Amino acid sequence: MYSMTICENVLIILLVSTSQRLQSPMYFFLGHLALSDIILVTSIAPKMLDVIIRGGSTIPYVGCLAQFYLYGGAVCAECFLLTAMSYDRYLAICRPLHYISVMSVKLRYSLIISSWLGLSLMLILITLVLVFGLDFCGSNVINHFFCDFAPLLELSCSDTTIVSIDIIVLSVPITLLPFLLIIITYVYIFITIFRISSTSGRQKTFSTCSSHLVVVSTYYGSMLIIYMVPYRGHSLTVNKFISLVYIVLTPFLNPMIYSLKNKEIQSSVIIYLKDCNKKTVFNGRRK
């Protein structure tokens, strides 16, 4: 699944970067979503496989914090990117005449830069600095398959009140606010769709945002269960299983969900594979 996830998302990035068919803002955001999926699963899966194969493993303290930072940055970036994609779908469906002028190249890059640098990496850096200042003088065994926030705090012998407050405060701009914005945009989208008189028109319009809606539901559903419910009240086995959903399963399924009903991506894949096949011929013979 890890190998397939990397191949699928790299293919999405290559298609969005090279295909003339996929130059709209929706695919531009999809390419960055694929990049965040690669970072998310790569920061966790290789070490997780080592833990599974060996029945346990070790990781340096700095490596643990680096894993936490990359994982947190990718999760935050995905939240903001999904929000940007919902806004893109809102403009395309609810304000089609203003879509091109509003969703300009400048706005696209502003949303991407703010999603990666301005919001994700900087906000997680605050939490990382606070975690780095904690003392770990007791047990050093993490009962999880990666360095998640709650299991790390369980090991600290310092007062973790400030860090806990910090993560609660940051959860508002990182998780709840984007989720609320997505809900608002989809309320307007559904209102617009229901106003369409023909059934075929409603189905065609809904199909343009159905993939994004499925991804949002899977991603936010599992993440909200993990982080909105107190960690101590969870079964550890259930906690790990739900973590697998948005760390491994969601990045694996995202390219499939977006390409399953998308004829433009399907045709771009066929054209790309044909071009690659032509490039393997040299002087009439295959390399």
Backbone angles phi, psi at 58, to 5 degrees: -120, 155
Mean pLDDT over residues 225-232, rounded?
59
More confident residue, 12 or 167: 12
- This prediction's pTM: 0.86
Q: What is the pLDDT of residue 264?
A: 76
Q: What is the pLDDT of residue 200?
A: 81
User: Which long-range contacts does 17-22 make (Cβ < 8 Å, 24+ apart)?
Assistant: 18/272, 19/268, 19/271, 19/272, 21/264, 21/267, 21/268, 22/264, 22/265, 22/268
Judge contact between 262 and 209, C-beta under 8 A: no
119 pLDDT band (50/70/90 cuts)? low
d(CA 170, CA 127): 9
Q: Enumerate the H helices of 197-248 as residue ranges.
A: 199-228, 236-244
Q: What percent of the chain shows pLDDT beyond 90?
A: 23
Residue 187 has pLDDT above 70, yes or no: yes
What does the pLDDT look like over 133-166, one tens digit per residue?
Answer: 888 887 788 888 888 887 888 888 888 888 888 8
**What's the CA angle centered on 63, arms 65 and 135, to 5 degrees?**
50
285 pLDDT band (50/70/90 cuts)? low
More confident residue, 13 or 274: 13
Q: What percent of the chain shows pLDDT beyond 70?
A: 90
Backbone angles phi, psi at 73, to 5 degrees: -65, -40
Q: What is the pLDDT of residue 227?
A: 62
d(CA 75, CA 215): 14
Judge contact between 28 and 274, C-beta under 8 A: no
